[in-house]
Structure 1
Amino acid sequence: MDIAELRDRILKQDRRALARAITLVESGRADHRAQAAELLEELRGSGREALRIGLSGTPGVGKSTFIESFGMFLTAQGKRVAVLAVDPSSTRSGGSILGDKTRMERLSRDKNAFIRPSPSQTHLGGVARRTREAVALCEAAGFDVVLIETVGVGQSETVVAEMSDLFVLLLAPAGGDELQGVKRGIMEIADLILVNKADGDLKATATRTCADYAGALRLLRKRAQDPDDFPKAMTVSALEEQGLSDAWGEMGALSDWRHENGHWDKRRRAQAQFWFLEEVKQGVLAQLDSGDAKAQIAELATKVAGQAITPSAAADKVLKALDIRKR
């Protein structure tokens, strides 16, 4: 693969080249990983920057419908939008359905939109390990907004905050008990809570639910990266495409404030450090899956089960064999 040619085609906003590059960064082959690292380094100085929006929500809340309506709204404003939709992978077969492109039929036909479903590969929070690199590729390809759809809601989902500029939590209308089903951790990282399905018979319920969340947000500790009125809760209807303009306005206001007050660059630098450390950790874990280490671990695991050695001593042997601890 000619990396220089692929780089040039991505910078010229070639969609097929972008799709090929994302396939490359998602590959686990050692030669592909080396090529991916080279490509990302070549694109590092492109100077292009997108607004990265992480989006999560409870199952059935209408994430795909919202993303399609919101994406169509943005492309109508002249924005180029990339959607990285992470599908859950089976823990038994390892397979994924990858049906997001089918569910977003209108947006998938929009020339200013790019939709890429990816398998979560059982990684923490449903965010594929290489999604961060796919985001960087989309930025280099000149997209203005990158939407990162994640799987489910829970404490582990906070990992999406490490690859996005804004985090949006999408919720459905419900009674006050709905608050019990949302983890405090994810509430604390949300920049904007959108109560979807605020239409028809559910409109009044959505309004009440929004008020519940707004009250809950006021009880959370103040964050340095927020202006006085953030985080906040709002109602939207993806089906009727209501409230999308207001939501986009709030996202823009928050990102502008963070730019002006130095939080944007500071956050991006912190994210780069976070992913550097993650790469180191993943590299160490990959060594444990190699042939020799795997055999040693299996042998020691049998001894630990038979109480012939303590778990701590067995682990120390493995780490010393990997030169992670001094012999």
Structure 2
Amino acid sequence: MSSSNKQAGSLNEKAGISSHEITNASAIIQIRNKRRQQPSAEELISGILSGNRTVLSRAITLIESTNPEHTEKANEVIKGCLPNANKSIRIGITGVPGVGKSTFIEAFGTFLTELGKKVAVLAVDPSSTISHGSILGDKTRMENLVKNENAFIRPSASGENLGGVARKTRETIILCEAAGFDTIIIETVGVGQSETAVHSMVDFFLLLKISGAGDELQGIKRGIMEMADAIVINKADGDNIYKANQAKAEFNRALHLFPPKKSNWLPKATTCSAITKEGISDVWNSILDYFEMTKETGFFQQKRNEQNQFWMIETINEQLKQNFYNQPEIISLLEQNKKAVQNNEISPFAAAQLLLNKYKKSL
């Protein structure tokens, strides 16, 4: 095989592997050309507003990109979608791994689509701190919901962001709302500080728990309990129903010990089974009660306004961080100082100050 035929790429023939007989060379060329064609911001906005899911996925990929060249175009797309956003219910769902988040979300999402809702699920998949890879298996776990015409599932790798929340989840919400999805569900990784980040971008925060997994008091953690607007004991089926009801009673007693929420909403613990669908409608009714109460008191819009301010500051911080690390002078100086710190030639704090001073001079 000549060297010209050994180019890297998934569509190229590799040494020792013969092409399948049905491989069509012209089709491969068409696919490559299509991949090279980048739609304009106007085309992306138009496609999103018309509900084109393929265009929506491409736009989300654009805003998730860390390439500085994509930032301006992504901001233009977000700006074009903003007038058609903010018309959804945003629900955050968290729980430790193994609690059945994906199964619950599939059952809950299916229930909502049967009510005529259009549901977008933004599932954040944990990235490896070693290989930086991510399985992105939520579409596989939600195999029925992914086929639903009124549902859209977008798994994203957590990367190195706070608690595993994808860096651009907030902007993705805007795009999904502009595409006509009236219910946005955000699934957290369920470990670390992901709950805090998701809580800052949703209207209703749901904590999934299971019973029979050890000391129930281990589940009563002050931080996460204070954030939760509802606690749902999942897997309340079969022989586990009695234990689930016991856990519900314990959590309801614990909830009474916490100070009142700013919204004056009183969270409750309920049980459900994502397998039998028992209790799913009760969860939705509780969410509706919350929205009715908070909209009447004005807390709903107040919280949205506070979140917008929070994400403005977060965006500034993120942009400053990117600008710092993308400065050519900083890149080379950073490597030098890393080696100096490792060799104890300079303290980490002095090295950091040196880099920051250099950055200030370059502005």
The two structures have a TM-score, normalised by structure 2, of 0.84
Change in 2 beyond 3 A, CA 1:179/1:115: same
Q: Which amino acid aligns with 2:264?
A: D
Which of 119, 123, 144 is the matching residue for 2:161? Answer: 123
Higher-Rg structure is 2
Corresponding residue of 2:53: 15
Q: Deviations over 1:68-100 (max 9, x none)?
A: 100110000000101111111111111111111
Instruction: For residues 92-140 of structure 1, give each alpha carbon's deviation from its aligned partner in whole angstroms, at most 9, with x where no partner exists.
Output: 1111111111111111111111111111113111110111111111111
What amino acid is aligned across from residue 126 of structure 2 in structure 1? P
Letter in 2 for 1:276: M
Q: Which residue of 2 aligns with 1:254?
A: 290
Distance 2:155 2:335 in 1: 35
Match of 1:312 in 2: 349
User: AA paired with 2:154?
Assistant: R
Distance 1:265 1:325 in 2: 41
Q: Is the 8 A contact 1:176 1:209 kept in 2?
A: no
| Pairwise CA distance, 1:325 | 11
Q: 2:276 aligns with which of 240, 248, 270?
A: 240
Give the letter aligned to residue 251 of structure 1. I
Query: Which of residues 172, 182, 196 in structure 2 aligns to 1:144?
Result: 182
TM-aligned CA distance change 1:155 to 1:226, over 3 Å: farther
Following TM superposition, by how much is the alpha carbon of 1:184 offset from its aligned partner in structure 2, in angstroms?
Answer: 2.2
Amino acid aligned to 1:294 = I
Instruction: Give, in whole Å, the separation in 2 of the partners of 1:199 and 1:86.
Output: 27
Q: Decide whether aligned partners of structure 1 residues 295 and 47 sit closer, same or farther in structure 2, where only a CA change above 3 A counts.
A: closer
* Alpha-carbon distance, 1:4 to partner: 1.4
Deviates more, 1:49-58 or 1:282-291: 282-291
| Alpha-carbon distance in structure 2 between the residues aligned to 1:159 and 1:271 | 11
Secondary structure of 2:208 counterpart: strand
Matched, 1:321 2:353: no
Q: Distance in 2 between matches of 1:176 and 1:215?
A: 18
Please tell me the root mean square deviation across aligned C-alpha atoms, in Å: 2.0
Name the SS of the counterpart of 1:59 in structure 2: coil
Q: CA deviation at 1:47?
A: 5.1
Q: Determine if the alignment matches structure 1 residue 158 to structure 2 residue 196.
A: yes
Change (3 A) 1:245 1:200: same
TM-score by length of 1: 0.93
Identity of matched residues, % = 48
**2:48 and 2:55 in contact (8 A); partners too:** yes
**DSSP 3-state at the match of 2:318:** helix
Distance verdict in 2 for CA 1:76–1:218, change over 3 Å: same
- Equivalent in 245, 249, 256 of residue 211 of structure 1: 249
C-alpha deviations, 1:178-199, integer Å up to 9, x for none? 3325542111111111000111
2:334 alignment counterpart: 297
Q: CA deviation at 1:250?
A: 0.5
| Structure 2 SS opposite 1:105 | coil
The match for 2:309 is: 273
Seen in structure 2, the aligned counterparts of structure 1 residues 207 and 293 have a Cα distance that, compared at 3 Å, is same
Q: In the alignment, what sits opposite 1:106?
A: 144
Partner of 2:79: 41
